[in-house]
């Protein structure tokens, strides 16, 4: 499954020079060069919209570059590249959206491509299952091969996507945000797998907004900004702040933002909340204007708690009080009516309707407010409300009627925030608010979060990235095995100590 190392390490696994691509008069890429050595783990870094995806699509034959490009795979020059050519050279891509089949089984998703051919034939299910099992075993994970993909959590779907790339005997694998939905332990295991592949001569191009893991796993980093090559740098000695500056051309304040909110009135109070198999004895208070961070590994019960607070599931015991009034949340409609808003970790399928317009997505939770007595939606009210929130959250768009899928990850997340802020909530639950969002856009989102807190909104920010809650929350709760394992003040604990407490 994993090819032996290339004995001729002097020949680049991939060499693309003078790559340019123009869309409608706009240079998505402008004279960019990119080279990867055999067995190298190479990071491709830059903000959303910098040209990373365009470059990958040119390398894999999806886009045709402008004339003047020089291309070679493993020392073999090419004058043009199709997707078939790219696969023939052993290039595989694991896209951020995974591109899996939700109704198919785990085994079928992993091994189906190996069963394709020009001749009509029956599928050998035993062989298919064997290939899938071998791929999962190489990752050191155990997933039910007969389970349908749509029954799995996001973390396991990511593992399935990685396993599918391994069965194709890839010589160079692009990994686009491969750890975005993984726990820290799963991430650590994946990085071990990447190092194993690298040691056997497989080249890995790692694309991630988690800069700490980029610097940990890769030996070099190619930085793009606004479609241009900033440079290629060794990661040894590189810091996250310097890499951020290279990617954005800006410097960001990474100071702890925590403030003492103990004197503020309580908004949301939870007492002894429990749900069988998910969480137990949860007691916490969020005060007016406070950002309460909730961190822990995936599987700790963080998202499950968020679902219950938003009425998507019902607790088996305990109480939820909002402004001193006990709530009985039978659905998310009850939660919205009470003044609770929830930004899901799964923006692509739960946060937005990708094919609908930006303005349609923005007004979805408040349709009665923009409808007349006859129940018909007022287009003028819809456009005015969308215009207000696009301006309020500085969403970068073309036209309001454009599909929300045309926006970058950071701007899509601003749309999700805007649509829930339009409900005028008293409590905002943010579940992994920066998944798939680049470093520059993350800073903008956290600025919005802090501004909302200063306006008096009570915010529960859920994240498995400890630095996110450390730098942006007023208090941090550590959740483990369905219970609150600790409470921390970012002003009184170091980031390293908090990470050690969470990651063990």
Q: Does 253 or 317 have the greater pLDDT score?
A: 317
pLDDT the model gives residue 36: 97
**Over the stretch 177-229, which tens digit does the pLDDT of each residue have?**
887 666 666 777 788 888 988 988 889 999 987 788 888 899 999 999 989 99
Of all residues in the chain, what percent carry a pLDDT higher than 70? 92
pLDDT the model gives residue 441: 74
Under the banding of pLDDT at 50, 70 and 90, the label for residue 47 is confident
Alpha helices in 249-348 (DSSP H): 302-309, 332-338
Checking if the pLDDT of 119 tops 70, the result is no
Checking if the pLDDT of 379 tops 80, the result is yes
3 state DSSP class of 341? strand
Nearest to 416 by CA among 408, 152, 54, 453: 408
Checking if the pLDDT of 237 tops 80, the result is yes
Rounded Cα gap, residues 131 and 114, in angstroms: 9
CB proximity list for 435: less than 8 A, separation 6 or greater = 180, 181, 345, 347
Checking if the pLDDT of 233 tops 90, the result is yes
Checking if the pLDDT of 103 tops 80, the result is yes
Rounded Cα gap, residues 255 and 2, in angstroms: 44
Q: Does 152 or 231 have the greater pLDDT score?
A: 231
> Cα-atom radius of gyration of the chain, to the nearest Å?
24
Under the banding of pLDDT at 50, 70 and 90, the label for residue 115 is low
Instruction: Provide the 8-state DSSP code for 372.
Output: -
Q: What are the phi and psi torsion angles at 29 (to 5°)?
A: -135, 140
Checking if the pLDDT of 465 tops 90, the result is no
pLDDT the model gives residue 116: 59
pLDDT the model gives residue 7: 45
Checking if the pLDDT of 8 tops 60, the result is no
**Over the stretch 283-328, which tens digit does the pLDDT of each residue have?**
999 999 999 999 987 678 998 999 999 999 999 999 999 999 999 9
DSSP structure string for 386-414: HHHHHHHTT---S-TTSBGGGS-HHHHHH
Q: What are the phi and psi torsion angles at 100 (to 5°)?
A: -105, 175
Checking if the pLDDT of 104 tops 70, the result is yes
Q: Nearest-5° angle of CA 285, CA 473, CA 268?
A: 20
Checking if the pLDDT of 279 tops 90, the result is yes
Top mean-pLDDT range of 139-143, 301-305, 319-323, 365-369 = 319-323
- Length of the chain equals 504
**Over the stretch 333-347, which tens digit does the pLDDT of each residue have?**
999 999 999 988 766
pLDDT the model gives residue 287: 98
pLDDT the model gives residue 349: 63
| Mean pLDDT for the stretch of residues 474-480 | 96
Which domains, ranges and CATH numbers included, belong to the chain? 266-503 (3.40.50.300)
Q: Are strands 70-73 and 76-78 parallel, antiparallel or unpaired?
A: antiparallel
CB proximity list for 33: less than 8 A, separation 6 or greater = 16, 17, 18, 19, 229
Nearest to 442 by CA among 420, 469, 418, 423: 469
Nearest to 429 by CA among 280, 311, 278, 263: 311
Rounded Cα gap, residues 427 and 410, in angstroms: 22
**Over the stretch 407-460, which tens digit does the pLDDT of each residue have?**
877 788 888 888 888 889 999 999 988 876 767 777 888 888 999 999 999 999
Rounded Cα gap, residues 405 and 112, in angstroms: 28
Of all residues in the chain, what percent carry a pLDDT higher than 90? 48
CB proximity list for 362: less than 8 A, separation 6 or greater = 385, 386, 389, 390, 415, 418, 419, 422
Nearest to 189 by CA among 220, 156, 167, 165: 156
Under the banding of pLDDT at 50, 70 and 90, the label for residue 500 is confident
| Mean pLDDT for the stretch of residues 108-126 | 69
pLDDT the model gives residue 120: 52
Return the bridge partners of 43, or none: 206, 221
Nearest to 173 by CA among 196, 189, 141: 196
Q: Are strands 76-78 and 228-234 parallel, antiparallel or unpaired?
A: unpaired
| Mean pLDDT for the stretch of residues 47-66 | 92
Under the banding of pLDDT at 50, 70 and 90, the label for residue 253 is low
pLDDT the model gives residue 297: 77
**Over the stretch 66-86, which tens digit does the pLDDT of each residue have?**
999 999 999 999 999 999 999
| Mean pLDDT for the stretch of residues 1-25 | 75
pLDDT the model gives residue 142: 86
Q: Nearest-5° angle of CA 384, CA 367, CA 333?
A: 135
pLDDT the model gives residue 63: 95
């Amino acid at each position: 499954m994993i090819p032996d190392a290339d004995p001729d390490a002097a020949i680049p696994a991939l060499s693309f020079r003078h790559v340019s691509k123009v869309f409608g008069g706009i240079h998505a890429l402008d004279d960019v060069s990119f080279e990867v050595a055999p067995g190298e783990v190479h990071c491709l870094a830059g903000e959303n919209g910098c040209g990373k995806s365009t470059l990958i699509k040119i390398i894999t034959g999806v886009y045709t570059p402008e004339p003047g490009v020089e291309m070679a795979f493993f020392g073999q020059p090419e004058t043009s590249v199709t997707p078939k050519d790219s696969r023939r050279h052993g290039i595989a891509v694991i896209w951020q959206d995974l591109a899996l089949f939700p109704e198919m089984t785990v085994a079928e998703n992993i091994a189906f491509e190996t069963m394709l051919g020009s001749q009509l034939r029956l599928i050998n299910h035993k062989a298919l299952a064997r290939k899938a099992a071998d791929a999962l075993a190489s990752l050191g994970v155990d997933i039910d091969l007969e389970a349908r993909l749509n029954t799995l959590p996001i973390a396991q779907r990511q593992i399935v996507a990685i396993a599918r790339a391994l069965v194709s005997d890839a010589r160079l694998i692009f990994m686009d945000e491969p750890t975005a939905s993984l726990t820290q332990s799963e991430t650590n295991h994946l990085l071990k797998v990447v190092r194993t592949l690298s040691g056997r001569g497989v080249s890995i191009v790692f694309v991630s907004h988690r800069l700490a893991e980029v610097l940990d796993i890769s030996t070099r980093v190619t930085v793009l900004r606004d479609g241009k090559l900033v440079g290629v740098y060794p990661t040894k000695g590189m810091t996250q702040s310097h890499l951020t500056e290279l990617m954005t051309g800006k410097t960001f304040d990474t100071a702890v933002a925590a403030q003492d909110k103990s004197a503020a009135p309580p908004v949301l109070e939870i007492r002894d909340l429990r749900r069988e198999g998910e969480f137990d004895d949860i007691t916490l208070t969020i005060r007016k204007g406070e950002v309460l961070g909730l961190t822990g590994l995936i599987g700790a019960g963080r998202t499950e708690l968020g679902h219950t607070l938003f009425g998507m599931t019902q607790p088996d015991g305990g109480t939820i009080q909002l402004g001193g009034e006990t709530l009985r949340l039978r659905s998310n409609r009850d939660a919205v009516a009470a003044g609770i808003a929830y930004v899901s970790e799964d923006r692509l399928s739960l946060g937005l309707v990708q094919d609908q317009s930006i303005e349609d997505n923005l007004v979805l939770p408040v349709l009665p407010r923009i409808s007349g007595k006859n129940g018909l939606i007022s287009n003028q009210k819809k456009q005015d409300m969308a215009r207000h929130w696009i301006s309020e959250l500085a969403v970068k768009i073309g036209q309001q009627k454009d599909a929300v899928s045309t926006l970058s990850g950071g701007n899509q997340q601003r749309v999700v925030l805007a649509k829930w802020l339009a409900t005028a909530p008293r409590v905002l639950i943010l579940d992994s608010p920066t998944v798939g969002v680049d470093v520059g856009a993350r800073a903008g989102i956290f600025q919005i979060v802090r501004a909302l807190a200063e306006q008096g909104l009570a915010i529960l920010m859920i994240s498995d990235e400890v630095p996110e809650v450390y730098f942006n929350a007023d208090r941090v709760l550590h959740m483990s095995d369905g219970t609150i394992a600790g409470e921390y003040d970012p002003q009184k604990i170091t980031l390293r100590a908090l990470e050690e407490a969470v990651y063990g």
